[in-house]
Chain A
Amino acid sequence: GAGVSQSPRYKVAKRGQDVALRCDPISGHVSLFWYQQALGQGPEFLTYFQNEAQLDKSGLPSDRFFAERPEGSVSTLKIQRTQQEDSAVYLCASSADRNTEAFFGQGTRLTVV
């Protein structure tokens, strides 16, 4: 595809439910990032992959958050036992390598009720 694609665009989850958010990066992009954007705030870093290797997961807020990129392309962010404070827009970005522009997807808006 032409850009970074995320699905679903919107997700409503009941508290305690598990969710999985998908990111299709730009083909051939080595680096992949997940960010969390709470309402009225800037995006905050969650985790970073270089190919299939998760090199940094320091931003994941709790052990309920898990990300994977098993074949170095598509990535999934999983949130277990969702809580209301998990409500946010989850952004995925990819870049060709370390020092090039990151391209963002449109995000998945997660609402936990």
Chain B
Amino acid sequence: AQSVSQHNHHVILSEAASLELGCNYSYGGTVNLFWYVQYPGQHLQLLLKYFSGDPLVKGIKGFEAEFIKSKFSFNLRKPSVQWSDTAEYFCAVNAGNAGNMLTFGGGTRLMVKP
């Protein structure tokens, strides 16, 4: 069974700082990769996804992620965070032969100080 690890549980940044959230997964086969965001009081929303092709994926709100197959990683980045990026971020994996059931990491709670 696949698993997903997010090593940073809590991250505190000042506005304009750069962000990188780590995500590693364990599964040897074909995977689809996702980052979801949950703003306070709201539902999970998709930030970006990787199915195939260019391993550098650009999502909404200036976020991007890079799939590095050799490292089983899909780290999320943003060059300059804003206060409105305060939220919880979840990495998720869908193994290619598992319908599209998602396996989630434990989440990273990001707080951006104005």
Question: A residues engaging B (CB < 8 A)?
Answer: 3-4, 31, 33, 35, 40-45, 48, 50, 55-56, 91, 93, 95, 98-107
Are A50 and B105 in contact (CB-based, < 8 A)? no
Stretch at the interface among B13-21, B77-85, B94-102: B94-102
A31 touches B107 (CB 8 A): no
A105: chain B residues at CB < 8 Å are: 43
Given contacts A35-B104, A42-B90, A103-B46, 7 further A-B contacts (CB under 8 A): A40-B106, A43-B44, A48-B99, A93-B44, A100-B100, A106-B43, A107-B43
Residues of B within 8 A of A (CB): 4, 6, 32, 36, 42-46, 49, 51, 90, 92, 99-107
| B100 pairs with A104, CB closer than 8 A | no
Chain A residue nearest to B88 in the complex (CB)? A42
A41-B107, A42-B104 known; A101-B46 Cβ under 8 A:
yes
Closest residue of chain B to A4, judged by CB?
B43
Inside 8 A of A106's CB, which chain B residues have their CB? 42-43
Known: A42-B90, A43-B90, A91-B44. A102 touches B100 (CB 8 A): yes
Q: A42-B106, A101-B46, A107-B43 are in contact. Are A95 and B100 (CB under 8 A)?
A: yes
**For B102, what are the chain A residues with a Cβ–Cβ distance below 8 Å?**
33, 35, 43, 45, 102
Q: Does A50 contact B99, Cβ atoms closer than 8 Å?
A: yes
Taking CB atoms, residues of chain A closer than 8 Å to B107 are 40-42
Residues of A within 8 A of B90 (CB): 42-43
Contacts of B100 in A (CB 8 A): 31, 95, 98-100, 102
> How close is B48's CB to chain A, nearest CB, in angstroms?
10
